């Protein structure tokens, strides 16, 4: 089982009625649907707005086909899983203490920025002489 997180402003509604598929292009040319889950709690700076942090445990083999692999060597893992799949498993709200502890052990924004800095350092600047 993998413990996955979903940050949202709609925690009460999700806990009462289950997840609903989101829909968007998500920086691609195709339309995709599902629920964004990550292996660490993400913040608004990482594209996950909201004050409610929900957690769900799902067998990795169930979600394997839904993983989005970062092309730049991401610092965390993400999945876009159909709501019908996620809703088969119990969802719980993380306590503020758990959320703070998890955020304190991982800073994806800084790690992602560092990865970008390293990549830029290896790339020739087309605007320089």
Tens of pLDDT, residue by residue over 76-106, are 889 999 999 999 999 999 987 877 777 654 4
- Give the pLDDT of residue 93: 95
Q: Give the model's confidence band at 112: pLDDT under 50 very low, under 70 low, under 90 confident, else very high.
A: low
For the segment 21-75, what is each residue's pLDDT rounded down to a tens digit? 998 887 778 888 999 999 988 877 777 888 899 999 999 999 999 998 766 556 7
Q: Is the pLDDT of residue 109 over 60?
A: no
Q: Is the pLDDT of residue 114 over 50?
A: yes
Q: Is the Cα torsion angle 67, 36, 99, 13 positive or negative in sign?
A: negative
Q: Is the pLDDT of residue 3 over 90?
A: yes
Taking the C-alpha atoms of residue 49 and residue 14, their distance in angstroms, rounded to an integer, is: 15
Tell how strand 32-38 and strand 67-68 pair up: unpaired
DSSP state of 38: E
- Give the pLDDT of residue 47: 75
> Which pTM does this prediction carry?
0.74
Q: Is the pLDDT of residue 128 over 50?
A: no
Q: Is the pLDDT of residue 11 over 70?
A: yes
Q: Is the Cα torsion angle 78, 43, 41, 52 positive or negative in sign?
A: negative
- Give the pLDDT of residue 122: 52
Q: List the chain domain ranges.
A: 2-121
């Amino acid at each position: 089982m993998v413990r996955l997180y979903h940050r949202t402003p709609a925690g009460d509604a999700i806990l009462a009625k289950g997840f609903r598929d989101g829909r968007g292009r998500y920086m691609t040319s195709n339309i995709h649907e599902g629920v964004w889950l990550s292996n660490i709690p993400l913040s608004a700076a990482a594209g996950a707005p909201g004050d409610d942090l929900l957690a769900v445990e799902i067998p990795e083999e169930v979600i394997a086909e839904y993983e989005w692999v970062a092309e730049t060597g991401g610092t965390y893992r993400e999945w876009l899983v159909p709501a019908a799949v996620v809703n088969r498993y119990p969802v719980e709200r993380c306590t503020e203490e758990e959320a703070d502890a998890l955020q304190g052990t991982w800073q994806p924004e800084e790690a992602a920025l560092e990865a970008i800095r390293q990549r830029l350092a290896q790339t020739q600047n087309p605007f320089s002489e």
